[in-house]
Amino acid sequence: MYAFEIERPSTIADAVAALQAEDAQALSGGQTLIPTLKARLAMPSALISLSGIGEMQGLCMSDDGALCIGGGTTHATVASEAAAHYPALAAMASHIGDPAVRNRGTIGGSLANNDPSACYPAGALGSGATIITNAREIAADDFFDGMFTTVLDEGELITEVRLPIPQAANYQKFVQPASRFALVGVFVAKYADGVRVAVTGASEEGVFRWSEAEAALSADFSASALDGLSVPADGMIADLHGSAAYRAHLVGVMTGRAVAAAS
């Protein structure tokens, strides 16, 4: 990597101020950023570590019953501490990467990076989460803006993620064999006002909602409700590990399995 300065502020305000410096870059768990630096694919002047910001750590329940997760909370913490409140989300977090990844990687970092094969974008979009930053609140439906892209502004930090607790939910991941990211991952959540189905890994546009499945499942929350439904292969990712048609097929399979496991 190239040489850089590193700062470790203890408040969100200090972090936001530090990020004003030219070419400063926020460092959360670093699970994508550090390999990128090691490959010399980025040259930040300074890394602003978020790991010392206590107000971005941990989980709590809001008065209206949503699970609130600090943006700097690791996957391992979510896996253990969300289990009593939102077991499907905790189970999803417990299968991201390996223990080393889960003990460093954070929910805020994952959402801000919006890797098209990451799990958290599906969890957040499938839960209809609210992404809270130092500047504003953004509905998950408005947050993701295509592969590796979000609506976050330069220097804007995810400080918290609020997830309404569904009546039933499940995440099914069919892993890409080498990386064990999601080749296709589907998060299904049933709320009083309808079912949400969020798909990661599959689309060239990044995480998306499968609206036909949502409508069918809102009417009848059973795997058989998906019979005859499919997503088109157009726009699906095609690579060594799966053709576009295969990914489109897996979206149906994984959605059915998630519904079966959730109900």
Partner 1 sequence: MPKDSGIGASSKRREDVRFLTGAGNYTDDINIYGQTYVHFLRADVAHATINAIDTSAAAAMPGVLQVFTGADFEPVGGIPCGWQVTDRHGEPMQEPKHPVIAHGKIRHVGEIVAAVVAESLAEARDAAEEIELNLTELSAVVDMKDAAAGGTKVHDDLTSNVCYDWGFVEENKGAVDEAIKNAAHVTTLELVNNRLVANPMEPRVAVGEYSRADDMHTLHTTSQNPHVIRLLMGAFVLSIPEHKLRVVAPDVGGGFGTKIFHYAEEAFCTFAAKAVNRPVKWTSTRSEAFMSDAHGRDHVTKIELALDADNNFTALRTETYANMGAYLSTFASSVPTWLHGTLMAGNYKTPNIYVNVKAVFTNTVPVDAYRGAGRPEATFQIERVIDMAARELGVDPIALRRQNFVTEFPYATPVAVEYDIGDYEATMAKLEEIADIGGFAARRAESEARGKMRGLGVNCYIEACGIAPSNLVGQLGARAGLYDAATVRVNATGSISVMVGAHSHGQGHETSFPQVISEMIGIPEDQIDIVHGDTSKIPFGMGTYGSRSLAVCGSAMVRAAEKVIDKAKKIAAHLLEASDADIELKDGQFSVAGTDKSVAWGDVTLAAYVPHNYPLEDIEPGLEETAFYDPANFTYPAGAYACEVEVDPETGKVTIERFAAADDFGNVINPMIVSGQVHGGIAQGIGQALMENCSYDENGQLISGSYMDYTMPRADDLPFYDVDHSCQTPCTHNPLGVKGCGEAGAIGSPPSVVNAVIDALQSGGKDVTHIDMPLTPTRVWDAMNNA
CB of 177: closest distance to partner 1 in angstroms?
4
Radius of gyration of the chain (CA): 18
In the complex, what is the shortest distance from the CB of residue 38 to partner 1, in angstroms, rounded to a whole number? 9
Smallest distance from partner 1 to CB 215, Å: 23
* DSSP conformational letter for 112: H
Which is closer to partner 1, CB of 34 or CB of 253?
253
- The residue behind tokens 């099914």 is 172
The burial of 73, by beta-carbon neighbours within 10 Å (0-12 exposed, 13-18 middle, 19 or more buried), is given as buried
Q: Which of residues 8 and 241 has its CB atom nearest to partner 1 in the complex?
A: 241
**Angstrom distance (rounded) from CA 169 to CA 197:** 10
Residue 214, helix vs strand vs coil:
helix
Its sign, for the CA torsion 127, 146, 209, 91, is negative
> What is the binding site for partner 1 (CB under 8 A)?
2-3, 39-40, 174, 177-179, 239-243, 246, 249-250, 253
Nearer to partner 1, 135 or 245 (CB): 245
Q: How far is the CB of 37 from partner 1 (least distance, A)?
A: 12
Q: Which is nearer to partner 1, 8 or 257 (CB)?
A: 257
